[in-house]
């Protein structure tokens, strides 16, 4: 069946360290979206990737879509306490949109 996985499940970093979360699909994707959910909050759309090998940057965040369009990564450079939250990838499988299980990021000051 179609599955989307995210690793790691949890990540604890010291403020200033880098962080990366990976999203992997069992099938080729048309696009991938990334969302961030702060503790107690709702998911907020970050970015959408469409093209094979695409790389997009938002300040300290770098998003990459794999060449085979089956995986993606979100990298945060020099984390800050404001980066705390759960990062979800979301993918379309036909008419269905599925969220990954998320990576929960903790940043220690």
Partner 1 sequence: GAVVSQHPSWVICKSGTSVKIECRSLDFQATTMFWYRQFPKQSLMLMATSNEGSKATYEQGVEKDKFLINHASLTLSTLTVTSAHPEDSSFYICSATFSHSNQPQHFGDGTRLSIL
Rounded least distance, CB 45 to partner 1, Å: 4
Question: C-alpha distances in angstroms, 19 versus 27, 31, 50, 82, 97?
Answer: 25, 22, 23, 13, 26
Cβ count within 10 A of residue 8: 13
Q: Is 95 near partner 1 (CB under 8 A)? A: yes
Among 2, 7, 38, 45, binds partner 1 (CB under 8 A): 45
Q: Is 55 near partner 1 (CB under 8 A)? A: no
Alpha helix positions (H), the chain: none
Binding residues for partner 1, per CB under 8 A?
A: 30-31, 33, 35, 41-45, 48, 88, 90, 92, 95-102, 104
């Amino acid at each position: 069946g179609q599955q989307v996985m995210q690793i790691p499940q949890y990540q604890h970093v010291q403020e200033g360290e880098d962080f990366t979360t990976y999203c992997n699909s069992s099938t080729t994707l048309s696009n991938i979206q990334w969302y961030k959910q702060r503790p107690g909050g709702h998911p907020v759309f970050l970015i959408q990737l469409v093209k094979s090998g695409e790389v997009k940057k938002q300040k300290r965040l770098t998003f990459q879509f794999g060449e085979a369009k089956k995986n993606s990564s979100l990298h945060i450079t020099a984390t800050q306490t404001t980066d705390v939250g759960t990062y979800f990838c979301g993918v379309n499988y036909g008419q269905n949109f599925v969220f990954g299980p998320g990576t929960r990021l903790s940043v220690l000051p």
